[in-house]
Each structure stands twice: as structure tokens, then as C-alpha cells.
Chains A and B, each alone.
Chain A
């Protein structure tokens, strides 16, 4: 079973469209994340949710809206897509964001490659 799964794996769309990427984790983790990896391979966090509550929102345009129906799912909806949104989007999860002996290891999905034409 895939621990963190994203769909779709590839997405090609036109500028101005609205699209969603779904993410599910079966690890029982409390925290989920969305990252964006650009063509230069920089991997930047966009959002983080802990038990369905938004805890990190990193200067992302409000065209991007995460939704967490439950702690095993974190979906990303993007409105009015622009050329600059083309990237690989990674979903990740971790056991919890707070201290203790937890290494904070992030478990990533395989990514969703979004191409905006």
C-alpha cells in the first residue's frame, strides 16, 4: 500500500482553468503538507495542516486553497491557473509537528506534475 498517494500524477491544462490535486495518507499521521518544486528543483512549503487545522501558510497566492476534510486527506485546489503555476506539487505527512523524540521525518508522495499551457 502506498503511504502517501496523490492524484493525478500528471495534469495538463490551459491558463485560467481551475484544477484540484488530491492527497491521502494511510500512515495515521496528524500533519500534512503541500510543497511546490520548481524547474530549478527548489522545494518550498506551501501549506501545512495539523488535524485539519491550518498551521502554515507560506505566502501563497489566494488562488491556491487547501482543504482538509479529515486528517488523512489534504487536497489542493487552484483557481485561475497561470503559466507560473507549472511545477511538481508534492504532498507529505509527518507524525506530528511538535517536539519529543519524533524526528519529524516527512513522508512524501510521488508528486503531481502540473503543466499550464
Chain B
């Protein structure tokens, strides 16, 4: 299973764009990249998923370079409510072992 590395924490201000990068140097051919968001006292919540290039939804964008050894979650114009821990997860959707260790995540603190 590809190990992921993320910054422990990040700070931002309301209205700014935030980019959180995740390294996954030994990602396998069949692996997808998924990001989750976790608020205090809640379980993680799915944000976005991608395999290559760029994926965008109503919440975020996910940028994946051609070598797929990293990925960047982009949150446009963050607000205070985006303060949370963000987890990058890499796994093979075609097996039952796609959802293992999330790692310690990146704690995003948004200031007013």
C-alpha cells in the first residue's frame, strides 16, 4: 500500500486559496487518490477522488501530475468552516484493501 506524506499543519485566512500537497512516491498503477475532511468529534467525510490530471467538484479541485507521485488538494476561497483535518489516501479501488491507514492528515486552521 502506497504510503502518503502530508504537512502536519497549515494556516490560512478567510478568502484565500489553500493548496495541500500529498506525496505518494510508490503509488501503484491501479491506485486512486482520495481526500477526506474531518471536523472535530466527527468521522471523516469524502471530498474528492482522482486518478490523473485534474478533477473538480463543487467543494475542491484535485491536481495530479503525470508521474502521480504527488497530488494537491485545492480549496478555493476558504472560510472558517473549512478548519479541519484533511487526509490523503491512496488505494486500489479494485481490491478490498483500498481503505487502510489514513495517516495523520494535515490540520488546516483558517483565521478570520
Q: Which residues of A contact B (CB under 8 A)?
A: 4, 31, 33, 35, 40-45, 48, 50, 55-56, 58, 90, 92, 94, 97-99, 102-111
Contacts and interface: CB of A to CB of B under 8 A. Distances in A.
14 contacts: A40-B104, A43-B101, A44-B100, A45-B101, A50-B96, A58-B100, A90-B43, A99-B93, A99-B94, A102-B93, A103-B46, A104-B91, A106-B36, A110-B41
A108 B45 CA distance: 7
Contacts of B49: 103-105
**How many B residues are at the interface, by size bracket?**
20 to 34
Contacts of B85: 41
A45 B102 CA distance: 8
A43 B93 contact: no
Q: Is the interface of B mostly helix, strand, loop or mixed?
A: loop
Contacts, number: 78
B46 A110 contact: no
B42 interface: yes
Nearest to A42: B104
A92 B98 CA distance: 13
A92 B43 contact: yes
B80 interface: no
Given A42-B103, A103-B49, A104-B91, 13 more contacts: A31-B96, A42-B102, A43-B103, A44-B102, A90-B43, A97-B95, A98-B94, A103-B46, A103-B93, A104-B34, A104-B98, A106-B99, A109-B43
Minimum-distance CB pairs A-B, first 8: A108-B43, A97-B96, A43-B102, A99-B94, A105-B46, A55-B96, A44-B101, A104-B93
B87 interface: yes
A42 B44 CA distance: 12
